[in-house]
Amino acid sequence: MSGNAGLLNDTLAAAKAEGRAALIAYLPAGFPTVDGGIEAIKAALDGGADVVEVGLPHSDPVLDGPVIQTADDIALRGGVRIADVMRTVREAHEATGKPILVMTYWNPIDRYGVERFTAELAEAGGAGCILPDLPVQESAPWREHADKHGLATVFVVAPSSKDARLAEITAVGSGFVYAASLMGVTGTRESVGAQAEDLVRRTRATTDTPVRVGLGVSNAAQAAEVAGFADGVIVGSAFVKRMLDAPDDAAGVEGVRALAADLAKGVRRQA
Protein backbone atom coordinates (compact mmCIF):
# COMPACT_ATOMS: atom_id res chain seq x y z
CA MET A 1 0.00 0.00 0.00
CA SER A 2 1.25 3.47 -0.84
CA GLY A 3 1.38 6.19 1.79
CA ASN A 4 -0.35 9.53 1.67
CA ALA A 5 2.35 12.01 0.64
CA GLY A 6 0.02 13.07 -2.16
CA LEU A 7 -2.76 13.80 0.31
CA LEU A 8 -0.36 15.95 2.33
CA ASN A 9 0.65 17.92 -0.76
CA ASP A 10 -2.99 18.36 -1.82
CA THR A 11 -4.04 19.50 1.67
CA LEU A 12 -1.29 22.10 1.88
CA ALA A 13 -2.03 23.29 -1.66
CA ALA A 14 -5.72 23.65 -0.77
CA ALA A 15 -4.85 25.89 2.18
CA LYS A 16 -2.67 28.01 -0.09
CA ALA A 17 -5.51 28.26 -2.61
CA GLU A 18 -7.69 29.64 0.18
CA GLY A 19 -5.09 32.36 0.72
CA ARG A 20 -4.07 31.15 4.16
CA ALA A 21 -1.39 29.25 6.01
CA ALA A 22 -1.98 25.63 7.00
CA LEU A 23 -2.38 24.65 10.66
CA ILE A 24 -0.33 21.65 11.76
CA ALA A 25 -0.82 20.18 15.24
CA TYR A 26 1.60 17.97 17.14
CA LEU A 27 0.63 15.45 19.81
CA PRO A 28 2.60 12.43 21.03
CA ALA A 29 1.21 8.93 20.66
CA GLY A 30 0.30 7.15 23.88
CA PHE A 31 -0.41 10.35 25.81
CA PRO A 32 -2.18 10.27 28.20
CA THR A 33 -2.96 6.72 26.99
CA VAL A 34 -3.00 5.23 23.50
CA ASP A 35 -6.79 5.58 23.28
CA GLY A 36 -6.73 9.03 24.87
CA GLY A 37 -4.04 10.18 22.48
CA ILE A 38 -6.07 9.05 19.48
CA GLU A 39 -9.08 10.99 20.74
CA ALA A 40 -6.96 14.10 21.28
CA ILE A 41 -5.53 13.91 17.76
CA LYS A 42 -8.98 13.45 16.25
CA ALA A 43 -10.16 16.47 18.28
CA ALA A 44 -7.31 18.63 16.94
CA LEU A 45 -8.27 17.71 13.38
CA ASP A 46 -11.99 18.16 14.02
CA GLY A 47 -11.26 21.53 15.62
CA GLY A 48 -9.53 22.89 12.54
CA ALA A 49 -6.01 21.47 12.15
CA ASP A 50 -5.20 20.58 8.55
CA VAL A 51 -2.48 18.08 9.41
CA VAL A 52 -1.28 16.29 12.56
CA GLU A 53 2.21 15.23 13.50
CA VAL A 54 2.12 12.17 15.77
CA GLY A 55 5.14 12.15 18.04
CA LEU A 56 6.94 8.87 18.64
CA PRO A 57 7.87 9.18 22.34
CA HIS A 58 11.58 9.05 23.02
CA SER A 59 13.57 8.82 26.23
CA ASP A 60 16.02 11.53 25.10
CA PRO A 61 14.03 14.06 23.04
CA VAL A 62 16.76 16.62 22.36
CA LEU A 63 14.51 19.01 20.42
CA ASP A 64 11.66 18.94 22.93
CA GLY A 65 11.14 21.17 25.95
CA PRO A 66 9.77 20.18 29.38
CA VAL A 67 6.09 20.06 28.36
CA ILE A 68 6.56 17.51 25.59
CA GLN A 69 9.20 15.68 27.64
CA THR A 70 6.61 15.22 30.38
CA ALA A 71 4.07 13.83 27.91
CA ASP A 72 6.68 11.50 26.40
CA ASP A 73 7.57 10.23 29.86
CA ILE A 74 3.91 9.49 30.62
CA ALA A 75 3.56 7.64 27.32
CA LEU A 76 6.74 5.62 27.83
CA ARG A 77 5.78 4.68 31.39
CA GLY A 78 2.45 3.57 29.93
CA GLY A 79 4.31 1.15 27.69
CA VAL A 80 3.75 2.80 24.30
CA ARG A 81 5.34 0.95 21.39
CA ILE A 82 5.84 1.65 17.69
CA ALA A 83 2.81 -0.56 17.01
CA ASP A 84 0.76 1.91 19.07
CA VAL A 85 2.13 4.79 17.00
CA MET A 86 1.03 3.02 13.82
CA ARG A 87 -2.39 2.34 15.31
CA THR A 88 -2.68 6.02 16.24
CA VAL A 89 -1.85 7.06 12.67
CA ARG A 90 -4.31 4.57 11.20
CA GLU A 91 -7.26 5.43 13.42
CA ALA A 92 -6.75 9.19 13.20
CA HIS A 93 -6.51 9.07 9.41
CA GLU A 94 -9.46 6.72 8.99
CA ALA A 95 -11.64 8.86 11.26
CA THR A 96 -10.83 12.20 9.63
CA GLY A 97 -9.42 11.57 6.16
CA LYS A 98 -6.66 14.09 6.91
CA PRO A 99 -2.90 13.60 6.49
CA ILE A 100 -1.00 12.24 9.47
CA LEU A 101 2.78 12.40 9.80
CA VAL A 102 5.06 10.82 12.38
CA MET A 103 7.71 12.96 14.04
CA THR A 104 10.53 10.84 15.40
CA TYR A 105 14.18 10.76 16.22
CA TRP A 106 16.24 8.43 14.08
CA ASN A 107 17.31 5.82 16.65
CA PRO A 108 13.90 4.12 17.03
CA ILE A 109 13.59 3.74 13.23
CA ASP A 110 17.15 2.48 12.93
CA ARG A 111 16.51 -0.18 15.56
CA TYR A 112 13.09 -1.11 14.16
CA GLY A 113 14.31 -1.33 10.55
CA VAL A 114 13.79 1.30 7.86
CA GLU A 115 11.94 -0.98 5.44
CA ARG A 116 9.67 -2.32 8.16
CA PHE A 117 8.91 1.14 9.52
CA THR A 118 8.15 2.74 6.15
CA ALA A 119 6.04 -0.19 5.00
CA GLU A 120 3.97 -0.17 8.18
CA LEU A 121 3.56 3.60 8.16
CA ALA A 122 2.33 3.53 4.58
CA GLU A 123 -0.03 0.64 5.35
CA ALA A 124 -1.44 2.67 8.25
CA GLY A 125 -2.22 5.54 5.89
CA GLY A 126 0.61 7.78 7.05
CA ALA A 127 1.74 10.71 4.92
CA GLY A 128 5.39 10.76 5.91
CA CYS A 129 7.94 11.49 8.63
CA ILE A 130 9.63 14.48 10.20
CA LEU A 131 13.19 13.51 11.15
CA PRO A 132 14.82 16.29 13.17
CA ASP A 133 18.11 14.54 13.90
CA LEU A 134 18.75 12.59 10.68
CA PRO A 135 21.66 14.24 8.83
CA VAL A 136 20.74 14.91 5.20
CA GLN A 137 24.01 13.41 3.99
CA GLU A 138 23.10 10.13 5.72
CA SER A 139 19.45 10.09 4.65
CA ALA A 140 19.58 8.32 1.28
CA PRO A 141 18.57 4.86 2.59
CA TRP A 142 15.60 6.35 4.41
CA ARG A 143 14.52 8.43 1.41
CA GLU A 144 14.75 5.43 -0.90
CA HIS A 145 12.32 3.45 1.23
CA ALA A 146 10.09 6.46 1.91
CA ASP A 147 9.80 7.22 -1.80
CA LYS A 148 9.03 3.58 -2.55
CA HIS A 149 6.15 3.65 -0.07
CA GLY A 150 4.76 7.07 -0.99
CA LEU A 151 5.90 8.89 2.16
CA ALA A 152 7.14 12.47 2.49
CA THR A 153 10.47 13.20 4.16
CA VAL A 154 10.42 16.44 6.14
CA PHE A 155 13.69 17.89 7.40
CA VAL A 156 14.17 20.61 10.02
CA VAL A 157 16.08 23.84 9.37
CA ALA A 158 17.18 26.31 12.04
CA PRO A 159 18.15 29.99 12.19
CA SER A 160 21.79 28.88 12.44
CA SER A 161 21.59 27.06 9.08
CA LYS A 162 23.78 28.74 6.46
CA ASP A 163 22.31 29.36 3.00
CA ALA A 164 24.36 26.57 1.42
CA ARG A 165 23.15 24.16 4.08
CA LEU A 166 19.54 25.22 3.51
CA ALA A 167 19.91 24.47 -0.19
CA GLU A 168 21.40 21.05 0.59
CA ILE A 169 18.47 20.19 2.88
CA THR A 170 15.67 21.49 0.69
CA ALA A 171 17.05 19.74 -2.39
CA VAL A 172 16.17 16.32 -0.97
CA GLY A 173 13.26 16.96 1.41
CA SER A 174 9.61 16.64 0.45
CA GLY A 175 6.16 17.57 1.75
CA PHE A 176 7.30 20.75 3.47
CA VAL A 177 10.28 22.25 5.26
CA TYR A 178 10.01 22.49 9.06
CA ALA A 179 11.54 25.82 10.02
CA ALA A 180 12.43 26.02 13.71
CA SER A 181 11.60 29.59 14.70
CA LEU A 182 14.54 29.96 17.06
CA MET A 183 17.49 28.17 18.52
CA GLY A 184 16.39 26.00 21.42
CA VAL A 185 13.73 23.44 22.29
CA THR A 186 9.98 23.28 21.89
CA GLY A 187 7.74 25.28 24.21
CA THR A 188 5.29 28.15 24.29
CA ARG A 189 6.76 31.65 24.23
CA GLU A 190 5.63 35.24 24.45
CA SER A 191 7.04 36.02 21.01
CA VAL A 192 7.86 33.85 18.03
CA GLY A 193 10.75 36.14 17.05
CA ALA A 194 12.11 37.90 13.99
CA GLN A 195 14.56 35.05 13.34
CA ALA A 196 11.67 32.96 12.01
CA GLU A 197 10.76 35.40 9.25
CA ASP A 198 14.36 35.67 8.12
CA LEU A 199 14.72 31.89 8.10
CA VAL A 200 11.58 31.49 6.00
CA ARG A 201 12.84 34.08 3.53
CA ARG A 202 16.22 32.39 3.19
CA THR A 203 14.69 28.93 2.91
CA ARG A 204 12.23 30.02 0.23
CA ALA A 205 15.15 31.31 -1.81
CA THR A 206 16.31 27.68 -2.19
CA THR A 207 13.04 25.84 -2.88
CA ASP A 208 9.42 25.94 -3.98
CA THR A 209 8.54 23.46 -1.21
CA PRO A 210 6.23 25.06 1.40
CA VAL A 211 7.90 26.31 4.58
CA ARG A 212 6.10 25.77 7.90
CA VAL A 213 7.20 27.39 11.16
CA GLY A 214 7.23 25.62 14.51
CA LEU A 215 8.53 26.18 18.06
CA GLY A 216 6.87 28.83 20.19
CA VAL A 217 3.40 29.33 18.70
CA SER A 218 0.67 28.95 21.31
CA ASN A 219 -2.25 31.26 20.52
CA ALA A 220 -4.28 32.74 17.68
CA ALA A 221 -2.38 36.04 17.64
CA GLN A 222 0.97 34.29 17.24
CA ALA A 223 -0.54 31.97 14.63
CA ALA A 224 -1.74 35.00 12.67
CA GLU A 225 1.71 36.60 12.95
CA VAL A 226 3.47 33.51 11.57
CA ALA A 227 0.77 33.03 8.92
CA GLY A 228 1.71 36.45 7.60
CA PHE A 229 5.10 35.22 6.35
CA ALA A 230 5.06 31.38 6.36
CA ASP A 231 3.11 28.72 4.50
CA GLY A 232 2.08 26.99 7.69
CA VAL A 233 2.03 27.15 11.47
CA ILE A 234 3.09 24.18 13.63
CA VAL A 235 1.83 24.00 17.23
CA GLY A 236 2.79 21.30 19.71
CA SER A 237 3.50 22.28 23.31
CA ALA A 238 0.33 24.36 23.63
CA PHE A 239 -1.79 21.32 22.72
CA VAL A 240 0.10 19.06 25.10
CA LYS A 241 -0.24 21.63 27.88
CA ARG A 242 -4.03 21.65 27.43
CA MET A 243 -3.98 17.91 28.08
CA LEU A 244 -1.59 18.15 31.04
CA ASP A 245 -3.53 20.95 32.73
CA ALA A 246 -6.98 19.40 32.30
CA PRO A 247 -8.75 17.82 35.29
CA ASP A 248 -9.45 14.66 33.28
CA ASP A 249 -8.85 13.20 29.84
CA ALA A 250 -12.25 14.21 28.45
CA ALA A 251 -11.68 17.82 29.44
CA GLY A 252 -8.23 17.67 27.90
CA VAL A 253 -9.64 16.47 24.59
CA GLU A 254 -12.14 19.33 24.58
CA GLY A 255 -9.33 21.74 25.40
CA VAL A 256 -7.40 20.49 22.37
CA ARG A 257 -10.47 20.91 20.16
CA ALA A 258 -11.02 24.47 21.40
CA LEU A 259 -7.37 25.45 20.93
CA ALA A 260 -7.38 24.05 17.38
CA ALA A 261 -10.47 26.11 16.58
CA ASP A 262 -8.85 29.25 17.98
CA LEU A 263 -5.61 28.68 16.07
CA ALA A 264 -7.56 27.91 12.89
CA LYS A 265 -9.14 31.35 13.17
CA GLY A 266 -5.66 32.82 13.62
CA VAL A 267 -4.23 31.36 10.41
CA ARG A 268 -7.28 32.59 8.54
CA ARG A 269 -6.77 36.22 9.55
CA GLN A 270 -4.39 36.46 6.62
CA ALA A 271 -7.02 35.23 4.15
Distance in angstroms (rounded) separating the CA atoms of residues 143 and 30: 27
CA dihedral over 60, 89, 136, 140, signed as positive or negative: positive
Catalytic residue (one of 50, 53, 120, 231) = 53
- Picking from 236, 256, 234, 237, the residue whose alpha carbon sits closest to that of residue 246 is 256
H or E segment at 30? none
Catalytic residue (one of 39, 64, 91, 231) = 64
CA 69 to chain centre: 16
Q: Is 72 a catalytic residue?
A: no
According to DSSP, residue 150 is labeled: T
Q: Is 64 a catalytic residue?
A: yes
Catalytic machinery residues? 53, 64
